[in-house]
Each structure stands twice: as C-alpha cells, then as structure tokens.
C-alpha cells in the first residue's frame, strides 16, 4: 500500500471513529445529538474524575494543586496506523473564580506505530498569566511538554516548570513519559457561547 493511500485510510478511520467513540460520548446517546449544556456537563464530569484520579495516584500533584491558580483536564483518544492522529475535549478551570473555559485538543504525527490509546492529561497552572495564556492563546506541546514534565518524567514531577505541571494518565496510572508532542490545545468556540 502506498504511503498516500495509507494516510487516506487512516484519515477516514479518524473521521469515522473519533466522533462515534468520543471518550466523552454519552452512554445513552450520540455526542453530536447532545445540547451544548449537556456536552459541558459531560466534559466537567470527566475532568473532575481525571483530577480525582490524579490525586489518588500522586500526593505531590495534590500538593501542587493546592497552591495552583487553576487546572485543566482533557480526555483524549489517539489512533495510529503508520501515521497517528487523535483528538479530545476538556476544560480549563480558574480555581478562585470558578471560570470554566471549554477546549479542544488535536494531535497528529508520523511514525512506525499501530494501535490506539485512550488517555487523560491534567495541567496545573501556577499563576493567572500561565492560565490566561493557555486558554486565550492555546498551547502546543513540543519541547515545552518535556520541559514541563522535568528531567524525572511526569510521574516524578515535584514542581512547576515554566508555570506548568503536566500529568498524562491512562487507566493504569501516571505515564512515565508523555507522548503529547505535536498536540495542540485551543478554545472550543461553540461550547463557550
């Protein structure tokens, strides 16, 4: 199979599979059929669940959260067949004001991989400037994702780096290394109206 045919096949897979199997899809209905408020409630519930799971797995993350300005949590699905792509939804929350900004995320890459992975990413923001920059300008994970995780990897993170602490997780626990490079986060215009 040629590379372009493979890429086209994967693109069709993403277009067909991601919306139908959205991690945030309601158990008794299709994600697309939900009203905006129902979608926000589903995102909020999954984000709260991810934050609780992080606290259950890391006392240090809970300690950092106590001093943080805000946090964000994203539920994601990544698929790969030679090239990889994925997407997800999440919410960024300013702790003191309770402001919630609903966001999308997407990722794409090229490599020799096959399979899929569902994971969550929790961000902790040290200050209002880092939080505002994330939600107002979006954020792209590249070298800064590794820097935010620190030298020890995300599971051993002990403080903020450049105003961020990042915790990728699967159902099995915190991921030692984060493959979130090439991931972009931005405001969801529809859900924030």
**pTM (predicted TM-score):** 0.78
Do 73 and 55 form a contact (C-beta atoms < 8 A)? no
Beta strands in 33-163 (DSSP E): 70-94, 100-125, 139-141
Can you tell me whether residue 70 is helix, strand or coil? strand
Name 101's bridge partners.
Answer: 92
193 found inside a domain: no
Whether 140 is covered by a domain: the verdict is yes
| C-alpha span between 105 and 89 (Å, rounded) | 6
How far apart (Å, rounded) are the C-alpha atoms in residues 178 and 6? 26
Whether residue 131 is contained in a domain is answered as: yes
pLDDT digits (tens, 9 = 90+) for 59-90: 999 999 999 999 999 998 877 776 778 889 99
User: Please, what is the angle between helix 59-67 and helix 36-57, to 10°?
Assistant: 120
- Position 132 in a domain: yes
The count of structural domains within the chain is: 1
**pLDDT surpasses 80 at 134:** yes
The DSSP bridge pattern shows strands 173-174 and 139-141 to be unpaired
Domain residues for the domain of 153 are: 3-187
Instruction: Tell me if 61 is assigned to some domain.
Output: yes
Percent of the chain with pLDDT over 70: 68
Residue partners of 124: CB distance under 8 A and separation at least 6: 61, 64, 65, 68, 70, 71, 160, 164, 165, 166, 167
Could you tell me the pLDDT band of residue 192, with boundaries at 50, 70 and 90?
Answer: very high
Is 55 among the domain residues? yes
Q: What pLDDT is stored for residue 20 in this prediction?
A: 38
Report residue 183's pLDDT band, with 50, 70 and 90 as the boundaries: confident
CB neighbours of residue 29 within 10 Å: 10
Helices within 58-159 (DSSP H only): 59-67, 128-137, 143-149
Within a domain: residue 143? Answer: yes
pLDDT band at 142 (very low <50, low <70, confident <90, very high): low
- Lowest-confidence segment of 92-96, 150-154, 178-182 by average pLDDT: 150-154
- Is 192 within the bounds of a domain? no
């Amino acid at each position: 199979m040629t590379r372009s045919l493979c890429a086209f096949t994967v693109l069709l897979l993403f277009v067909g599979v991601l919306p139908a199997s959205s991690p945030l899809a309601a158990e008794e209905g299709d994600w697309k059929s939900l009203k905006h408020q129902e979608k926000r409630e589903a995102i909020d519930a999954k984000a709260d669940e991810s934050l609780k799971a992080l606290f259950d797995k890391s006392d240090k993350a809970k300690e950092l959260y106590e001093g943080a300005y805000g946090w964000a949590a994203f539920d994601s699905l990544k698929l790969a067949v030679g090239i990889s792509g994925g997407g997800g939804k999440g919410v960024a929350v300013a702790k003191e004001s309770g402001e919630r900004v609903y966001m999308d995320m997407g990722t794409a890459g090229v490599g020799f991989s096959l399979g899929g992975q569902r994971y969550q990413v929790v961000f902790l923001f040290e200050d209002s400037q880092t939080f505002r920059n994330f939600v107002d300008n979006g954020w792209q994970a590249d070298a800064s994702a590794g820097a935010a995780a620190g030298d020890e990897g995300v599971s051993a993170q002990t403080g903020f780096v450049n105003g961020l602490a990042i915790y990728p997780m699967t159902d099995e626990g915190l991921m030692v290394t984060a493959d979130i490079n090439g991931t972009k986060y931005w405001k969801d215009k529809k859900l924030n109206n």
